[in-house]
């Protein structure tokens, strides 16, 4: 499905309606629109990731939109070139790289609503 490339990334952004958009970047360029299930590499999400992960990603993007006062936010996820199995996360606002972040620093799960 995905072409062979030196650098592959996943890009997350919100469209004009606030819906989550997933793209695959090939050699630092957004190339393919994909679904969350394609990112997971499955046809059926038996573990239920597609029920809670997209909402968490939307919240992360919304917080970055507020932080940078910019609705053109893209979070890009790369496998590190330097370290095995290390994943790097970057925020771009208006096409400009703003910061690298750790996923644990931006995740906020609403446990109370999950228990209701």
Taking only the tens place, the pLDDT of each residue in 47-94 is 888 888 888 899 999 999 999 999 999 999 987 666 666 888 999 999
pTM of the model: 0.78
Query: Structure tokens of 102?
Result: 């750790």
Per-domain boundaries in the chain? 8-115
DSSP character string of 72-99: -EEEEEEE-SSSTT-EEEEEEETTEEEE
């Amino acid at each position: 499905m995905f072409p062979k490339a030196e650098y592959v990334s996943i890009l997350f952004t919100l469209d004009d309606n606030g819906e989550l958009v997933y793209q695959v970047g090939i050699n630092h360029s957004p190339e393919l629109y994909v679904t969350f299930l394609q990112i997971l590499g499955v046809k059926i999400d038996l573990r239920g990731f597609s029920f809670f992960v997209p909402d968490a990603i939307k919240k992360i993007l919304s917080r970055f939109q507020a932080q940078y006062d910019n609705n053109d936010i893209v979070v890009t996820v790369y496998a590190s070139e330097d370290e095995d199995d290390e994943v790097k996360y970057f925020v771009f606002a208006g096409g400009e790289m703003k910061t690298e972040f750790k996923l644990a620093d931006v995740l906020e799960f609403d446990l109370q609503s999950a228990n209701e």
